[in-house]
Amino acid sequence: MDKFVRLEGLVVAIDRNNIDTDAIIPKQFLKSIKRSGFGPNAFDEWRYMDVGQPGEDCINRPKNPNFALNQPRYQGAQILLTRQNFGCGSSREHAPWALLDFGFRVIVAESFADIFFNNCFKNGILPIVLPANEIEEIVKQVEAMPGYKLTVDLPAQTVTRPDGRAIAFNIDPFRKECLLNGWDDIGLTLRHSEKICEFEARRRFEQPWLFA
């Protein structure tokens, strides 16, 4: 997966609590396990006025003009700002796939559902927990200021607002190291590829009947 070090990104706010994974990517799109191509269907039932289907071209589908992701001022947003318990519901890994494919690299919220939170790190998304009062103030600033951007510095563990105020956030050291180096579970395993190859060669020599 791509490394995450520092990002200055446009922010879009979905000002709701308890956004579940079925809202992030509806169930009819879960048949594919390709990990890509889900971006056009992220928040499908909120973005579009009709019901989407797998494989359908979304270009000509009628969009909901009141939904934030459809508004011109938020096009190209890389940071999603939201409220409590984001990613609750079923433990579908398709949810972070859809958000990443849409273009989000950071999600800032008051709290996250545990499984979704873990899946974000495994797919190159940085989930950041900030206090409710900080979220409230940033939401107001986003709504009042078109082109509002935050700077997220992972090594320093800070979120910096346009006015220069830096807000610290916590992150598990191991997860931080994985994001900084672009290590998903496969990447972590491949760090030991030489030892794996040595083991397989030795096993082939010592137990040749397994390879007959």
Residue-wise pLDDT for 167-191, tens only, equals 999 999 999 999 999 998 777 777 7
Looking at the whole model, is its pTM more than 0.85? Answer: yes
**34/39 Cα distance (integer angstroms):** 12
- Tens digits of per-residue pLDDT, 100-115? 999 999 999 999 999 9
- The pLDDT score that the predictor gives to residue 17 is 98
Domain boundaries defined on the chain = 6-181
pLDDT at 178: 95
Say if residue 62's pLDDT is above 80: yes
Mean pLDDT for the stretch of residues 149-157 = 98
> For the chain, what is the mean pLDDT?
94
Mean pLDDT of 52-79: 95
User: pLDDT-derived band of residue 193, with 50, 70 and 90 as boundaries?
Assistant: confident
Range in 83-97, 109-123, 131-145, 175-189 the model is least confident about = 175-189
Q: Are the CB atoms for 98 and 37 separated by under 8 Å?
A: no
Q: Write out the two tokens for 165.
A: 């105020």
pLDDT at 206: 85
CATH topology of domain 6-181: Aconitase; domain 4 (3.20.19)
Q: How far apart are CA 2 and CA 91, in angstroms?
A: 23
Distance, C-alpha 119 to centroid of its chain:
8
Q: What is the share, in percent, of the chain residues with pLDDT greater than 90?
A: 81
